[in-house]
Amino acid sequence: DVDSKTELDESLSAFANVNEDSITEAIAELNHSYEESGRAFACAERAKGWKIYTRPEYAEFVRQLFPGRKPSRLSGPAMETLAIVAYRQPVTKASIEAVRGVSCDGMLQKLLDRELIKIGGRADLPGRPLLYETTDLFFEHFGVKSVEELPNSAELRTVKLPEPEPEAVDDAGETQEGDEQSSNDNDNNAEQIEKQLALSAAGIPQSETDSVDGDSDLTTIDPEG
């Protein structure tokens, strides 16, 4: 069991008694062989290593084989919330709501249920609010290995966003966020981040639940949903 691609590379290298470059070259040769022989699948590099997936041009055949697997769609508000988490992680609920201008409890729970985001710890702030970040499933969905590979990541991770209102702490230690008011700047920044995440979604290698190894039950993300 490994927690990162680096650890996986080291594990494979030690087990096979080869270096990491040799592993990368071997996978490239495999993919070349698959392409030359017209195979319907290939190896793709992911956040934690590599995965065999169905080529996009064969996705329709996979859908016909598994007619019961209907792709789920994220609503616009859920997509916007996911975009903010993706580009500004780790991020608190109050910070997300400061951008969106509305409560996001339901959207966060939906994304947690879909396993696209997770709780990554607590912020060093009064009340110790939860921090949200994306999961490995998110990176697999969008075909990237890290946050830095998201479209315009360097720019959007430094865009100035509105500060959340100070959070009151009740007797039980729970935070109580004040009402957040949206502004034109907030909306523009949120829309910019959402559009960039939607662009990334357009480049997903497997747009549906079409991996050939059968262990992936991905949620199709539709920015317009």
- CATH code for the domain in which residue 114 is found: 1.10.10.10
pLDDT digits (tens, 9 = 90+) for 166-216: 654 444 444 444 444 444 555 555 555 556 555 544 433 333 333 333 333
Domain that holds residue 170: 76-201
Instruction: Specify the number of domains making up the chain.
Output: 1
Q: Is the pTM of this model over 0.75?
A: no
The reported pLDDT for the residue numbered 93 is 95
Q: Is residue 150 part of a domain?
A: yes
The reported pLDDT for the residue numbered 132 is 97
Q: Is residue 147 part of a domain?
A: yes
What confidence category does residue 92 fall into, taking pLDDT thresholds of 50, 70 and 90? very high
SS3 category, 181: coil
- Rg of the chain over CA atoms, in angstroms? 20
CA pair distance 6, 27, nearest whole angstrom: 16
SS3 category, 212: coil
CA pair distance 72, 65, nearest whole angstrom: 18
The reported pLDDT for the residue numbered 207 is 34
The reported pLDDT for the residue numbered 140 is 82
The reported pLDDT for the residue numbered 209 is 32
The set of residues, in sequence order, having a beta carbon less than 8 Å from that of 72 and lying 6+ positions away, is: 114, 219, 220
DSSP code at position 37: T
**Is residue 142 within 8 Å of 201, Cβ to Cβ?**
yes
Q: Is residue 95 part of a domain?
A: yes
CA pair distance 86, 133, nearest whole angstrom: 7
pLDDT digits (tens, 9 = 90+) for 128-161: 999 999 998 898 888 788 888 888 887 777 777 7
Q: Is residue 56 part of a domain?
A: no
The reported pLDDT for the residue numbered 187 is 54
DSSP H helices in 39-118: 59-65, 76-88, 93-100, 105-113
Q: Is residue 14 part of a domain?
A: no
Cα-Cα end-to-end distance for the chain? 36
Q: Is residue 82 part of a domain?
A: yes
